[in-house]
Structure 1
Amino acid sequence: MNKKRIAIISIIALILIYFTYNYFSPSSDGQLYLTTQVNKGDFISEVITSGEAQSTSLKKINGPDNLRKFRLREIKIQDLIPEGTIVKKGDYIGRLDPSDVNEQIIDARLNLEGAEAKFTQQQLDTTLSLKQERNSLKDISFNREETRLELKQSIYEPPATIKKLENNLEKLERDFLEKQENYKIKKRQANAIMVEVSNKVFKIRNELNNLLNLLKSFTIYSSGNGMITYFKNWDGSKKKVGSSISPWDPTIASLPDLTKMESKTYANEVDIRKIKKNLTVKVGFDAFPDIEMVGVVTDVANVGENKRGSDVKVFQVSIKLEGSDKNIRPGMTTSNKILTFEQKDVLSIPLEAIFSKDSITYVYKKSGFSVTKKQVKIGDSNNDSVIITDGLNEEDIVYLNKPEGLNTAPIVKLN
């Protein structure tokens, strides 16, 4: 009988407790109310961004640096080894399209043949012309000697004959001197012309040799040891087969230093004001979820830029990775948790539990079987929680959604 009486009394007590709780609790009308406990502990605020790993120190692999000299503007990449290939100094990297250079080489060879033919023709013309001038000098010299001998043998001739011979000799002397001077002038002219055509041949031959050397440089070899990464254009696209290089940007690929890495990321206009230099960052990698490295913010852009494909302004943030890991490669996607604020041993609740009216911040606090609207003071917040500086104690229970029937209930203010 005693056991039965105890069981009946217990059931009646439970029923009374149930109805009492329902009477003093807010009317739910089928609505589910969520509650949470005030926690005490370390409070942190983080800005979480997605970024890309890259090296802070890299060696560029360039194409020819004298393209402008040969009036070459855009040269296409004809072949390029796969990105990520490990190479040693002197290994083959790729090849540029030689079409434009080959055309210039053909033109230069044709020009050289023409210049050499002109040189040979001018050489023959000069030899023949000077030979004729020398023969003419010899003829005048021969006539002069004959006249001189004839004058010596005419001492018994009449004076008129002697005078005539003297005049002829004098004329031949003048002709010889004039012809001799003309020969010297023509010889200098011929030498000048030969120098001119010779220089032209030398210039074209030198140009041809330079073009042939340029053609050799269109085959690109590694300038050091490391892992090949494709170089990025100004718009973020990578140079690959079919892309072009120019005299102003001859870089084809790069050899990054994998011991000096950083995460390049972007923050929006709301978060950027929280990010400062020297903040600690936890950097994770999508490709290796088990790897997490510590980083530090080294640079925060002062000027925003438009995010590609939208009008949203973003600000570039550079995060230097401390230490290195052989698995980390440039181009890997990173997740960056930037620690912007930290405070120890503080009370905090979810943001959903905070309500406000007439500049008064309050919560719905569970007090036994009833609910009170309690004023609180809040401090810093993050994306999920807010610090409570006054108004609540550790392990207090607050509502995450507004209970019905308490709109007109008074707010219990702080003393």
Structure 2
Amino acid sequence: MSKKKIYIIAGLIIALLLFYFFFKSKTEDDISLTVKVKKGNFISEVLTSGEIQSSSSKRISGPSSQSLRKFNLRDIKIQDLVSEGSIVKKGDYVGRLDPSSINEKILDAELNLETAQSKYTQQQLDTTLTLKQERNGINDLLFSIEETKLELTQSAFEPPATIKKLEIQIEKSNRDLREKRENYSIKKRQADAKMVEVGTEVSKIKKKLNELTKLLKSFTIHSDGNGMITYIKEWDGRKKKVGSSVSPWSPSIASLPDLSKMESKTYANEVDIRKIKKELPVTVGFDAFPDIKLEGVVTNVANVGEKKRGSDIKVFQVMIKLKNTNDNIRPGMTTSNKILTDTEEDTLITPIESIFSKDSISYVYKKSGFSVEKIQVELGKSNNDIIVIKKGVKENDVLYLNKPEGYETKNIILLKE
């Protein structure tokens, strides 16, 4: 082999080695991550967690609100309550309220009844005695008149003055008799009125006592239907249980949900709520049963936000109706809801991290051979992970997920109008 060929081969080997070490060093220094532009389906979803509940349920209540208000009973404690999830039939025992407050009122009513009955008896005796005295007075006056008349008959031959005196006495006695009879009539009406008054008081207290006794029976609560017991929530979100209060404004202690009509109650933040509308499809999952996925649909979106408890963040309530149900699903279970807000088929998509912006211009760093191009792109819809590119790149183009070193100051290749 000639020396010239040897020199040429040696030179090529040295050049290859230099080329290898140069690009190896550059690759080791450049740790930029890249991704290929893909063509596929764009899906935008809002993910929320919620709680399953029945959209139709029957409340189980104890005493009526009207009865509690009538007797000024409020903040009655729940003394006993069957376990949540218990299956009951119509008429089965559900719970009991603390009867101490109504027992005090029953005791007071019983004492008042004894007092009223004693007054009634006393008034009855007084009336009998008073009217008897009045009747005796009338009878005595009648006897006196008869006696005077007899004396007048026997005085036919007496002087005229004597006869006149007896006639005047008879006339006076008749006047006294009329007055006594009138007085008797008045006193009888007075006595009747007093008897009615005390009798009415007795009847009133008896009626109150009967109502209280009937109300006491309603403190033991039974189911008025068949189903599964679920605890209801108070205004602060806590469930009613033993020790919780019942009031005229909130007399229910539990509910019987219709398990064939279930919905997921969830909340979305201020950013996501503008994407959510009625009739959007939802996939509902359950933390307790990861394998169960049910289809649902958005039925209601709140117009007014509310503050999340313990935070200043405002959230909006969203109701999702399940299209079907499962025997394992129970009210109160935690749900994971995927609300499908938008879709676009057969479009170019890339991770949102590959998009950069400057002065309202969106651009990407595209790998071009051993170099990098800084290209403007026209963007479409996006979600939390990916974004649609309408113009500027094509399928399988390689884009950088971070800014490659040395190309930050490079000019952007603008899209043609």
Aligned CA distance change for structure 1 residues 20 and 353 (closer, same or farther; 3 Å): farther
Cα drift, residue 324 of structure 1: 1.5
Compare 155-164 and 282-291 and name the one that shifted more: 155-164
Cα drift, residue 28 of structure 1: 4.8
Partner of 1:53: 52
Partner of 2:41: 42
Written as runs of structure 1 = structure 2, the 5 A alignment for 1:174-193 is: 174-193=175-194
Cα drift, residue 407 of structure 1: 2.1
Aligned CA distance change for structure 1 residues 22 and 104 (closer, same or farther; 3 Å): farther
Q: Secondary structure at the match of 1:409?
A: coil
Aligned CA distance change for structure 1 residues 15 and 323 (closer, same or farther; 3 Å): farther
Cα drift, residue 15 of structure 1: 10
Q: Secondary structure at the match of 2:26?
A: coil
Partner of 2:292: 291
Cα drift, residue 217 of structure 1: 0.8
* Number of equivalenced pairs: 404
- Aligned AA for 1:264? K
1:11-41, Cα deviation, whole Å (9 max, x unpaired):
x999988865775699355453322221111
Give the share of equivalent positions with the same residue, in percent: 67
Matched, 1:406 2:407: yes
Compare 280-289 and 71-80 and name the one that shifted more: 71-80
- Aligned AA for 2:43? I
Cα drift, residue 297 of structure 1: 1.1
Cα drift, residue 202 of structure 1: 0.5
Aligned CA distance change for structure 1 residues 258 and 14 (closer, same or farther; 3 Å): farther
d(CA) in 2 for partners of 1:16 and 1:332? Answer: 69
Partner of 1:3: none
Partner of 1:232: 233
Matched, 1:127 2:128: yes
d(CA) in 2 for partners of 1:296 and 1:91? Answer: 36
Partner of 1:244: 245
d(CA) in 1 for partners of 2:408 and 2:82? Answer: 70
d(CA) in 2 for partners of 1:256 and 1:361? Answer: 53
- Aligned AA for 2:146? E
Matched, 1:194 2:195: yes
Partner of 2:119: 118
d(CA) in 2 for partners of 1:395 and 1:62? Answer: 66
d(CA) in 2 for partners of 1:336 and 1:14? Answer: 62
- Aligned AA for 1:49? T
Cα drift, residue 239 of structure 1: 1.2
Partner of 1:262: 263
d(CA) in 2 for partners of 1:282 and 1:195? Answer: 73
Contact 2:30–2:405 (Cα < 8 Å) also in 1: no
Written as runs of structure 1 = structure 2, the 5 A alignment for 1:73-152 is: 73-152=74-153
Cα drift, residue 130 of structure 1: 1.0
Contact 2:259–2:330 (Cα < 8 Å) also in 1: yes
Instruction: List runs of 5+ in structure 1 lacking aligned partners.
Output: 1-11
1:250-294, Cα deviation, whole Å (9 max, x unpaired):
121111111111111111111111111111111111011111111
Partner of 1:220: 221
Partner of 1:166: 167
Q: Secondary structure at the match of 1:124?
A: helix
1:51-87, Cα deviation, whole Å (9 max, x unpaired):
1111111111122121010011221111111111111
Instruction: List runs of 5+ in structure 2 lacking aligned partners.
Output: 1-10
Aligned CA distance change for structure 1 residues 409 and 17 (closer, same or farther; 3 Å): farther
Aligned CA distance change for structure 1 residues 33 and 341 (closer, same or farther; 3 Å): same
Q: Secondary structure at the match of 1:45?
A: strand
Q: Secondary structure at the match of 1:67?
A: helix
Compare 358-367 and 294-303 and name the one that shifted more: 358-367
Compare 126-135 and 15-24 and name the one that shifted more: 15-24
Partner of 1:8: none
Aligned CA distance change for structure 1 residues 18 and 285 (closer, same or farther; 3 Å): farther
Written as runs of structure 1 = structure 2, the 5 A alignment for 1:229-378 is: 229-378=230-379
- Aligned AA for 1:33? S
- Aligned AA for 1:129? T
